[in-house]
Amino acid sequence: MKGKTAEKHQQWQLFIKELVTFALLFAALGLVVYFLFYQSIYHEMNHGLQWQKNQIMQNSPVPRVNHLMGSEAQKAQKAKNQVPPKDGSFRANLVVFNKNGRVINDPMLGERDYDLLKNTQLIKRHLNRISNLSLTADGITGHFKTLLIKVPKSNPNPVYAGRYVLIMKNIDADLQALTNFRTALVTTLIIFWILAIAIAYFLSRSSMKPIILAWRKQRDFSGNAAHELRTPLTVIQNQLEYLLTKPKSRIMDEAEEVSTALDEVRHMQTLTNQLLMLARSDSNVIQLNQTDVDLQPWLEKSVKLYSDIATSQQKELKANIKVSGHGSFDPDLIRQVLTILLDNAIKYTPTNGTVTVNAKRIHDPLQHEALHLQVADTGPGIADSEKTKIFERFYRTDKSRNSKTGGNGLGLAIAKWIVTRHHGKINVKDNEPCGSVFNVTIPLKSAKTSV
């Protein structure tokens, strides 16, 4: 339950992080787009004001840039401000002041703009500066960009000569365009943010899935390991506590308790070795020690030890090993696979039962040389529904039976890892008339077949 809350918490954190990232990205994108739009509008407007200024100052026709070459082109560059604004619709109002700040071109202002523009004042500190100006008349407010210039007395136009001219460009339409653009941009960003919520949720779920899975596996693994270690520890503790109550006894008198404790110590040793092996396999630190192996003698020797163990338990072990030549694999690890399979086969075969080991060289489906090992027993067999599960860590078909047999469900998981690491295959089938058959196929890398 606690684990589930931690997982949810992690997923939630990831979701928030992704959402914030999306939000920041969209906000940055929105700002950049808005800034560019804003710039393009005002750049054109400022250029228009400068152009108008040049028109007044020079009072001369504008040269056609396209027809100019060489040094002429430089002149054209200089006269860039003489190029009319792109849209061609630049129309400014011109208010002419005398030295005392009185508007002297009232008749030129036009009836429509007169009411608004007559309130304009001469602010000399704005000379040669582009400024913003808002004017209100009859409840209507107009917004302007302005440029105040002082026209020299030498100017051929008598209306402007020696006067101040305020060039005014009405920007109401541009402000409206900016407002509309801002509204459209914010609406689009909100829609995308809502989409981002769904995407962030989906991403956080799908990216957390493998992490949660690995996390659960790890948690189950540690939980199971602790559980498996607790039983032998409890037995050892009980035996030792019992021995403490008999301080005068000789070891010989309490041999059974000592031997039980020792058995549990051995069991724990096996378990910790297996846990270590799996932990190292998970972190990929186990390197395969590929060695050239003479197969027949190596297999006979590996199986021989188990023949004695089977006999001591009134079980029979038949070995049918016919493998010529050499093969390359990690002999220690493959022997461990054999040990796990033979150990289980003998363990689960009843008294007077038979365990059979077959070994032969085969060609796998891709026509590569492979070693095929088969360990068959006449035990209780394995139900179809459990044939794949038994290769999972800590999986045992019958917990009570296995607590007696001393297994902890790690052997086949290790065997599977070793075989897979060798690019081989392992599976289990039913034996006839009873029991199970474990099949292992290991590719033999460099095969030197003996003649």
Cα-flanking dihedrals φ and ψ of residue 194, to 5°? -65, -45
Listed ranges 106-114, 125-133, 250-258, 341-349: which one lies at the site for ligand ADP (CB under 6 A): 341-349
| Subset of residues 281 to 340 that bind ligand ADP, contact rule: CB under 6 A | 340
Q: Does 146 bind ligand ADP (CB under 6 A)?
A: no
- Taking a C-beta distance cutoff of 8 angstroms, is the pair 116, 138 a contact? no
Size of site (CB under 6 A) for ligand ADP:
22
Closer by beta carbon to ligand ADP, 409 or else 443: 409
State which of residues 63, 84, 331, 380 lies at the interface with ligand ADP (CB under 6 A). Answer: 380
Distance from C-alpha of 450 to C-alpha of 325, rounded to nearest angstrom: 5
Distance from C-alpha of 425 to C-alpha of 423, rounded to nearest angstrom: 7
State which of residues 52, 120, 344, 374 lies at the interface with ligand ADP (CB under 6 A). Answer: 344
- Type and span of the H or E element at 165: strand 164-170
CB of 241 to ligand ADP, least distance (A): 28
Q: Does 345 bind ligand ADP (CB under 6 A)?
A: yes
- Taking a C-beta distance cutoff of 8 angstroms, is the pair 341, 438 a contact? yes
Q: Does 350 bind ligand ADP (CB under 6 A)?
A: no
Nearest to 371 by CA among 426, 319, 429, 443: 443
Listed ranges 156-164, 195-203, 360-368, 389-397: which one lies at the site for ligand ADP (CB under 6 A): 389-397
Closer by beta carbon to ligand ADP, 11 or else 344: 344
| Subset of residues 421 to 440 that bind ligand ADP, contact rule: CB under 6 A | 436
Closer by beta carbon to ligand ADP, 277 or else 345: 345
Closest-CB residue for ligand ADP?
407
Closer by beta carbon to ligand ADP, 286 or else 434: 434
Show the beta-strand stretches assigned E in 257-404. 291-294, 316-322, 326-329, 354-363, 369-376
State which of residues 200, 348, 359, 442 lies at the interface with ligand ADP (CB under 6 A). Answer: 348
DSSP assigned state of 358: E
Q: How many helices (H) and strands (E) does the chain have?
A: 9, 11
Distance from C-alpha of 45 to C-alpha of 47, rounded to nearest angstrom: 5
DSSP for 262-300, please give it. Answer: HHHHHHHHHHHHHHHHHHHHHTT-PPP--EEEEHHHHHH
- Taking a C-beta distance cutoff of 8 angstroms, is the pair 72, 172 a contact? no
Closer by beta carbon to ligand ADP, 424 or else 435: 435
Q: Which residue has the tokens 């959402």?
A: 19
SS3 assignment for 136-152 = EECCEEEEEEEEEEECC
Listed ranges 66-74, 162-170, 321-329, 388-396: which one lies at the site for ligand ADP (CB under 6 A): 388-396
Gyration radius of the chain's alpha carbons: 46
Q: Does 377 bind ligand ADP (CB under 6 A)?
A: yes
Closer by beta carbon to ligand ADP, 84 or else 380: 380
CB of 443 to ligand ADP, least distance (A): 23
Q: Does 408 bind ligand ADP (CB under 6 A)?
A: yes
| Subset of residues 88 to 127 that bind ligand ADP, contact rule: CB under 6 A | none
DSSP for 232-244, please give it. Answer: HHHHHHHHHHHHH
State which of residues 103, 382, 437, 444 lies at the interface with ligand ADP (CB under 6 A). Answer: 382
CB of 381 to ligand ADP, least distance (A): 6
CB of 352 to ligand ADP, least distance (A): 16
State which of residues 323, 412, 418, 442 lies at the interface with ligand ADP (CB under 6 A). Answer: 412
Listed ranges 188-196, 203-211, 302-310, 372-380: which one lies at the site for ligand ADP (CB under 6 A): 372-380
DSSP assigned state of 350: P
DSSP assigned state of 95: E
- Site residues (CB under 6 A) for ligand ADP? 340, 344-345, 348, 377, 379-380, 382, 390, 395-398, 402, 407-413, 436
